[in-house]
Amino acid sequence: AQRVTQPEKLLSVFKGAPVELKCNYSYSGSPELFWYVQYSRQRLQLLLRHISRESIKGFTADLNKGETSFHLKKPFAQEEDSAMYYCALMRNGNNRLAFGKGNQVVVIP
């Protein structure tokens, strides 16, 4: 079975500092990887997915199959980045998401 691990529950960073959220997964096949974000009082929404190779709101994530990781990075954190971030995996050909436990990010002004 697939598993997604987000080791740090809470991450506090100062505004303008870099932020990196770690995500490791266990799955023997070729997964689809996602980062979902939940801002205060809002619903869970897609931030980015590895296959699109986009930068969304300054965030990027690179899939490293050798290290089975999909870490989320942003060079300069903004106050509006304060939110809950979830890494999620979808098996190839399977439409169900397996989520990590999430990271609470707090950006200190």
Partner 1 sequence: DAGVTQSPTHLIKTRGQQVTLRCSPKSGHDTVSWYQQALGQGPQFIFQYYEEEERQRGNFPDRFSGHQFPNYSSELNVNALLLGDSALYLCASSPWAQETQYFGPGTRLLVL
Among 11, 22, 24, 44, binds partner 1 (CB under 8 A): 44
Q: Amino acid identity, residue 58? A: G
* Span of 20-28, 55-63, 66-74, 84-92 interacting with partner 1 by CB under 8 A: 84-92
Report the residue number, 41 or 109, with the smaller CB distance to partner 1.
41
Residues 6+ positions from 75 with CB-CB distance below 8 Å: 18, 58
Binding piece for partner 1, criterion CB under 8 A, among 19-27, 54-62, 68-76, 87-95: 87-95
Q: For the segment 52-81, give every residue that binds partner 1 (CB under 8 A).
A: none
Residue 66 CA: distances (Å) to CA of 25, 27, 29, 62, 79? 11, 12, 12, 12, 33
- Cα 98 from Cα 63, distance rounded (Å): 16
Contact flag: residue 22 with partner 1 (CB under 8 A): no
Type of residue numbered 104: Q
Among 13, 21, 47, 98, binds partner 1 (CB under 8 A): 98
105 is a site residue for partner 1 (CB under 8 A): no
Residue 41 burial class via C-beta count within 10 angstroms: exposed 0-12, middle 13-18, buried 19 and up: exposed
Binding site residues, partner 1, CB under 8 A:
4, 32, 34, 36, 43-46, 49, 51, 86, 88, 90, 94-102
